A and B are shown apart, each in its own frame.
Chain A
Amino acid sequence: MSVSYSGVTKSFGGRLVLDDISDIVNEGELTALLGPSGSGKSTLLRIIAGLTPLDSGRVSLAGRDVTNTPARDRHIGFCFQDYAPFRHLSLRENVAYGLKVQHVARAQRREQVDELLRLVRLEEFADQYPHQLSGGQRQRMALARALAIKPDVLLLDEPFAALDAQVRAELRSWVRTLQQEVGITTILVTHDQVEAMEIADRLVILNSGRIEQAGRPSFVYDHPATDFVASFLGPITSFGGISYRPHELEIVALGDGAESATVSEVIRLGFEVRVVLAGDDGTSTWVQLTHDQAKHLNPGVGQRYGIRVRSSKARKDAPLSSNVDAPR
């Protein structure tokens, strides 16, 4: 089911948190609301769920206006960052909660809960209580509980933020697979751009209550509409007064029409090697090399090289900063 909102405005105690936000989320898509903390992304998610009232604007599900519909009638699954397990209920009872509310018959309820527990791979923990589960298991329980009512839309607030790195990476791809299997329209809030780029069909980048840019991850990465988006989605460096992604530049032998510069630092991060160079005009630029490129070139501090824009990149005639003046 598609989700759309228009003119959404919200302030808390005189502070404007969302400023006239509008967007459409297509059916079956996974959209990531990406932005730094305080950008208003979680508030937007809560407004879509009906958990926070908005000051002005409209929210629609599949074209039906739900702005004044209470959360319990919106049929939207919502997962909190802390998973909000019902502490006094077993895992099975947690997942069954929504079905009980809908007065699903006991036998049928049990069947559906078993199926959901299989789906989130928690069958063997069915009779355990939330405090006996790990963070990742609690997160999967929260997902199963939300999916139990077969919601039209799934909303996830920072679903992986409270997990350690390894579990997070696993769950991320698992959630993506699950979302595609179930085919449910999903909106996910995150402040982690790598997570958003990996998991989402579409990014909506928020900054201080406004949408900076929305679009496919690869497109937004290559064609950021603003400086904020460019620097938020990945590293940028300045070369000849223009912003570039550090991997769009290359280091070559002196001459050959390249700007000459002196290596001031080499940072080796495994596969990635960062070479920081000081230009003759005093500006600092850094260039990202692969491990193999660095091995081949073997740059050392104090050595002099030329910097130029990689010829294979279309970026050469469309540098990042050419978009800086685009409307916000």
Chain B
Amino acid sequence: MKQTDNLVDIKDLTFRRGSRTIYDGISLQVPKGKITAVMGPSGIGKTTLLKLIGGQLRPDSGDILFRGESIPAMRRSRLFKVRRQMSMLFQSGALFTDMTVYDNIAYPLREHTRLEEDIIRTVVLLKLQSVGLRGAAGLMPSELSGGMARRAALARAIALDPDLIMYDEPFAGQDPISMGVLVKLIKQLNDSLGVTSIVVTHDVKEVLSIADYVYILANQKIIGSGTPDEVREDSSELVQQFLQGSADGPVPFHYPADELAKSLMEVR
């Protein structure tokens, strides 16, 4: 049964922002209980993909299925119900700056459940323990380092035990240690809670170490996909340039421009 194996199923998706095409007919599947990585160079709208899955944006054509149910076709109230089963870790962490770390993590619980305050306390402390920040419960978000803020946000993202966690650039701008911590956490959460994860990133090495399946996006299309090993062996020049990080290749070093000599000679 293919339908039940995939938590998220994107079919022939096209999305434009103004006159710019972001995606041109892409299809990808996110199998249940696995870590799926979506990679690609900066500025091609990887975050947009997550917002499309979350229903914050609507595709111009194509369909996005969550448990076989079309997200763009949902009414707002249904969408809000479905969103409780997913959560998203934003690049900036997006902790609420006007409350403590503890209240941040308790927030979705207080909004969506009718749990007693002492049960909430237990849940929050357990979630904080799992990201190693129980000691930081009383701090304000402004007192946290970037890596700690992201871990706290991760604790908030798993507060309601979602089925799907979407990570938006979890490794961007992290030092090697916190990067290692995050890699370990993502893997651990996936294994212990059985959640499905989508990791959007351009940090090749880290993500290949934990991903079960990889998609590489460029030029509005999927240019390569497969398990990490398959992707490493991919014959496409573009994929290899991206994985190895060479400066020039199919993705040119230069932004499209007139010839240098001509530009310099131009009379102003």
**Are A and B physically bound partners?**
no
Binding site for A on B (CB under 8 A): none
Binding site for B on A (CB under 8 A): none
